[in-house]
Amino acid sequence: MPSRPHITVDDLRIGYGTRVLMEHTTFQVERGTIFAILGGSGCGKSSLLRHLIGLELQQAGRIDIDGVGEPSQYEGVPPFGVLFQSGALFSSLTLAENLWLPLNRWTPMRGATAHELVQAKLDLVGLGAFAEYLPGEISGGMKKRAGVARALVLEADLLFFDEPSAGLDPISAVELDQLIITLSRDLGITVVIVTHELPSIFLVADNCIVLDKAAKGIVARGDPRKLRDESKIPFVHAFFTRSSYDVTANPGG
Amino acid sequence: MSVALRADREGGHAILVATGPFDLAHATEVTQAVRDAEASLNGCRSVDVELAQIDRIDGAGAVLLARLLDRLEADGRQASVKGDNPEAARLIALYRERRTVLPAPQIRTKNPLTRIGAVVAHLPGKANDAFDFIGRCAVAIPKAAVTPSSVDWRSLPRLMQEIGADALPVTSAANLVVGIIIGLLGISELGRFGAISYVPELVVVAHFRELGPLVTAIVVAGRSGAGLASKMATMKVSEEIDALRSMGFDPVRWLVLPRCLALAVTVPLLTWVGDLLALVGGLVATVVMTDMTPHAYMEGTLKAITASNLLTGLIKAPFLALAIGLIACGQGLLTRGGAAAVGARTTTAVVLSIFSTIVISALFTLFFALMGA
C-alpha cells in the first residue's frame, strides 16, 4: 500500500489583497523524496513556500502536512525545518548557540547532552570546527550549511529550502546539493526546495512542479530530467534549456 | 516501551541491548540509560550494541549511541553495532563518520589585568581609526568645494528637517525643564542671602554659557546621533556603502558631509530656541515661588543677556554638533558584521557623542575662562 503523501496541497489560491499569484494549484509531495518548486522570477515560488510553512494564510484551498494539518494553525514543536535564503542565522549568537536556541525552547535537554547534539549536527554539515564562530565570521556557503544544521536540530522529517544555491560559488553549491542528497537518502527526510538553479535541480530533485506567472499556477510536473527532454510546453522547454521565450506570444505559458 | 540499555555480560564481552524509543523526545532518558550502561562496563574488552529492539530512532538517539561507541573505542575497547535494524545502523554510522575531532578548548583567562591589557592594546588601533576618519573628512571638505556634485546637497533640507526640526519639541522641553531647575536652585540658594533678584542673571549665565548648548547637544546625540549611526551602520552591513564606492562616490563626501552640515546648522538654532525656553522656565519658577513680578524678572534677564553670555554658548554649539555627526557617521562606517554589530556601533556612537560633547564643552569653558570672556 502506498504511504500517505507528506504534503497535500489542494485547489490552493494565494495572493495579497486583490492580487492573485496562484490559483487552482494542486500537488502532493511523497515522503522521503526531494521535491522542487520551480519557475521564473516573480511566479510565486517563495510565496508558495511561505504558505507551506505557515507564515502566510491562503485565500482558498487546503494545505495539509501529514501529522500537522494546516501549517498556519499548528502550534507546538515545529514539525519541519526551514533554511531561509540568507541562512537567517542570529548574528549575535555563535553557530552553536543558534542551534541550541530551538533545542532549549522545545526540549528539556541542557548541558553536555545538548552540547553533544548541537556538535553532532554541526559535524553533520561539516562545520564541527566552527561551533564558536559568529555568523559574521564565516562564508555564505557555511552560513547556509549552519542554517541546515539549525533546521535539523529538532529532528524534523521535513525540510524546506528557499533558494539554497543562491549566491554560492559552484563548489559550495554542489557541496550543499550533496548535503541535501545525504539528508534525504541517509536520514529519510522529505526535502522541498524552491529554486531556479538548473544544475542543482537535475542533481537533487526527484520530482518537481513548474510554476508560471502568466498561467498563475502549475504548468508542468514530474521528473525534471524527463521534463527537460520530453516536455512540449514552450515555457517549460525554454526554462529547462535556458532558451529565450516570448511571454507575450504565449501568455498562458 | 520505556528506554533501556541493558548490559548482558559474558566475561570480558558485553552486549548492550537497546530497547524503546531512541529519539529527541526521549533524549534525557536515553542519556541516562547510556550513562548507566557505560558505568556497568568496567573490565569489558569488547562491547556490541544490539539495535534490533529499538522502537524508533532519530538523529538525537543515533548521536548519543554513536558517541557512546566513540568513547568505548577511545578507551581501547572494541565496539560495534549488531542486530536487524538497518535504519539505526545507518544513522549511527553517519554520525560516527561525520564526527569532527576538535582540539581541546583553550581556557579563556578571566584575569582583570589581562582584560585591562586587552582593552589598552586595542586603543592605538581605535585611535588610528578615529584619526583616519577625521583625516578623510578634512580632505573631503576641499574636494567637495572643488567638485560640489560629489556631495548629496539635495538631501540637506530633508536632513535638516529630520535632524533639527523634528528634534525641536524634545530639545525645547528639555531646556524648559532645565530653566525651571536653575530657577528653583537659585531661589533656594540665593534666597538664603536675600539675593532673589540675582536669579534671572543666574539662569542666563548658567544656561546661555553652559547648560543650553550642552543639554541640546546631549538630546541631539541621543536622538539624532543614534539615528544617524544606526542608518549608516545598516547601510554598511547591507553593502550600500560598498555600492556607493563601486559607483565612484566617496561616502564621506556623499553621506557624512551633508549630515555634519545639517547638524552644524540646526544645533545652534535648537540651542537658541532652548535658551529662550529656559528663560521662560526660570521666569515661571521665580514668579510662582517668590514675590518677584514678571516685569522685574524680565528686567533682570535683559540686563544679564550680554554678547559675551550669548555668544560663548552659541559658538560652542556647531562644534558640539560636528562632534556628534563625525562620531555617529564614523561609528556607522566602521561597522562590520550583522544586526548585532549595528546595535553595538549605535550604542558606542551615543556614548562617545555624549562624552565628547561634555569634554568639548569643558574645554571651551576653560578657554573662555583663560581669555577672560
Q: How many CB pairs under 8 A join A and B?
A: 77
In tens, the pLDDT along A104-119 reads 888 888 888 899 999 9
**d(Cα A106, Cα A75) in Å, to the nearest integer?**
12
**d(Cα B370, Cα B373) in Å, to the nearest integer?**
8
Of A113, A129, A182, the CB nearest to B31: A113
**d(Cα A228, Cα A211) in Å, to the nearest integer?**
15
Contacts of A148 in chain B (CB under 8 A): none
Place of cell 547637544: B217
Length of chain A: 253
CA distance A223 to chain B (A): 27
Determine how many CB atoms are found less than 10 A away from the CB of residue B42. 6
CA distance B171 to chain A (A): 34
Contacts of B67 in chain A (CB under 8 A): 116, 120
A109/B contact by beta carbon, under 8 A? yes
Phi, psi of B50 (to 5 degrees): -90, 120
- Strands A19-29, A7-16: pairing is antiparallel
Cross-chain Cβ contact A107/B24 below 8 Å: yes
> What is the per-residue pLDDT for A210?
93
Determine whether A251 is exposed, middle or buried from the number of CB atoms within 10 Å of its CB (0-12, 13-18, 19+). Answer: exposed
Contacts of A129 in chain B (CB under 8 A): 100, 102
Cross-chain Cβ contact B94/A124 below 8 Å: yes
B91/A contact by beta carbon, under 8 A? yes
Determine whether A23 is exposed, middle or buried from the number of CB atoms within 10 Å of its CB (0-12, 13-18, 19+). Answer: middle
DSSP H or E stretch at residue B8: strand B4-10
User: For A103, which residue in chain B has the nearest alpha carbon?
Assistant: B24
CA distance B340 to chain A (A): 5
CA distance B18 to chain A (A): 18
Place of cell 500537488: A27
Mutate: best of B3, B56, B63, partner A, most A CBs <10 A: B63
Contacts of B24 in chain A (CB under 8 A): 107, 154-155
CA distance A107 to chain B (A): 7
Cβ-proximal residues to B288 (8 Å cutoff; 6+ apart), any chain: none
Beta pairing partners, A218? A211
The band of B191, judged by pLDDT with boundaries at 50, 70 and 90, is confident
The arithmetic mean of pLDDT across residues A48-63, rounded, is 90
Q: Does the predicted TM-score (pTM) go above 0.80?
A: no
Of A92, A113, A155, the CB nearest to B58: A155
Is the pLDDT at A250 greater than 90, yes or no? no
Is the pLDDT at B31 greater than 60, yes or no? yes
> What is the per-residue pLDDT for A251?
44
The arithmetic mean of pLDDT across residues B153-178, rounded, is 93
In tens, the pLDDT along A85-97 reads 888 888 778 999 9
User: For A127, which residue in chain B has the nearest alpha carbon?
Assistant: B100
The arithmetic mean of pLDDT across residues B219-238, rounded, is 92
Q: Are B88 and B55 in contact (CB under 8 A)?
A: no
The arithmetic mean of pLDDT across residues A53-70, rounded, is 87
Contacts of B28 in chain A (CB under 8 A): 108-109, 113
Beta pairing partners, A15? A20
User: For B340, which residue in chain A has the nearest alpha carbon?
Assistant: A92
A111/B contact by beta carbon, under 8 A? no
Determine how many CB atoms are found less than 10 A away from the CB of residue B269. 17
Higher pLDDT: B273 or B195? It is B273
Question: What is each CA distance from B136 to B17, B139, B323, B353, in whole angstroms?
Answer: 71, 5, 15, 19
State the DSSP string of B223-258: IIIHHHHHHHHHHHHTTHHHHHHHTT--HIIIIIHH
> What is the per-residue pLDDT for A183?
86
Q: Are B198 and B326 in contact (CB under 8 A)?
A: no
Cross-chain Cβ contact B28/A109 below 8 Å: yes
Region label for A196, one of left (φ > 0), alpha (ψ between -120 and 50) or beta (otherwise): alpha
CA distance A51 to chain B (A): 26
User: What b-and-e string marks burial along A144-180, b requiring 16 or more CB atoms within 10 Å of the CB?
Assistant: bbbbbbbbbbbbbbbbbbbbbbbebeeebbebbbebb
Place of cell 580632505: B139
Cross-chain Cβ contact B95/A124 below 8 Å: yes
> What is the per-residue pLDDT for B130?
85
The band of A252, judged by pLDDT with boundaries at 50, 70 and 90, is very low
The arithmetic mean of pLDDT across residues B280-309, rounded, is 92
> What is the per-residue pLDDT for A174?
87
Of A109, A128, A152, the CB nearest to B59: A152
Distance of CA A145 to the CA centre of its chain: 13
Mutate: best of B58, B99, B100, partner A, most A CBs <10 A: B100
The band of B107, judged by pLDDT with boundaries at 50, 70 and 90, is low
Phi, psi of A220 (to 5 degrees): -160, 155
Of A91, A117, A154, the CB nearest to B63: A117
> What is the per-residue pLDDT for A253?
40
User: What b-and-e string marks burial along B327-352, b requiring 16 or more CB atoms within 10 Å of the CB?
Assistant: bbbbbbbbbebbebbbeebbebbbeb
CA B300, B306, B311, B312 torsion: positive or negative?
negative
**Where is average pLDDT lowest: A14-28, B62-76, B109-123, B280-294?**
B109-123
Is the pLDDT at B72 greater than 70, yes or no? yes
State the DSSP string of chain A: -PPPPSEEEEEEEEEETTEEEEEEEEEEE-TT-EEEEEE-TTSSHHHHHHHHTTSS--SEEEEEETTTBSGGG--SS-SSEEE-TT----TTS-HHHHHHHHHHHH----HHHHHHHHHHHHHHTT-GGGTT--GGGS-HHHHHHHHHHHHHTT--SEEEEESTTTT--HHHHHHHHHHHHHHHHHH--EEEEE---HHHHHHH-SEEEEEETTTTEEEEEE-HHHHHHH---HHHHHHHHT----TTT-TT-
Distance of CA A52 to the CA centre of its chain: 10
**d(Cα A4, Cα A65) in Å, to the nearest integer?**
10
Contacts of A120 in chain B (CB under 8 A): 59, 63, 66-67, 95, 98-99
A209/B contact by beta carbon, under 8 A? no
Is the pLDDT at A19 greater than 60, yes or no? yes
Q: Are B184 and B282 in contact (CB under 8 A)?
A: no
Is the pLDDT at B269 greater than 80, yes or no? yes
In tens, the pLDDT along A71-83 reads 877 777 888 898 9
Higher pLDDT: B102 or B86? It is B86
Q: Are A29 and A65 in contact (CB under 8 A)?
A: no
Residues within 8 A of A (CB atoms), B 56-75 only: 58-60, 63-64, 66-67
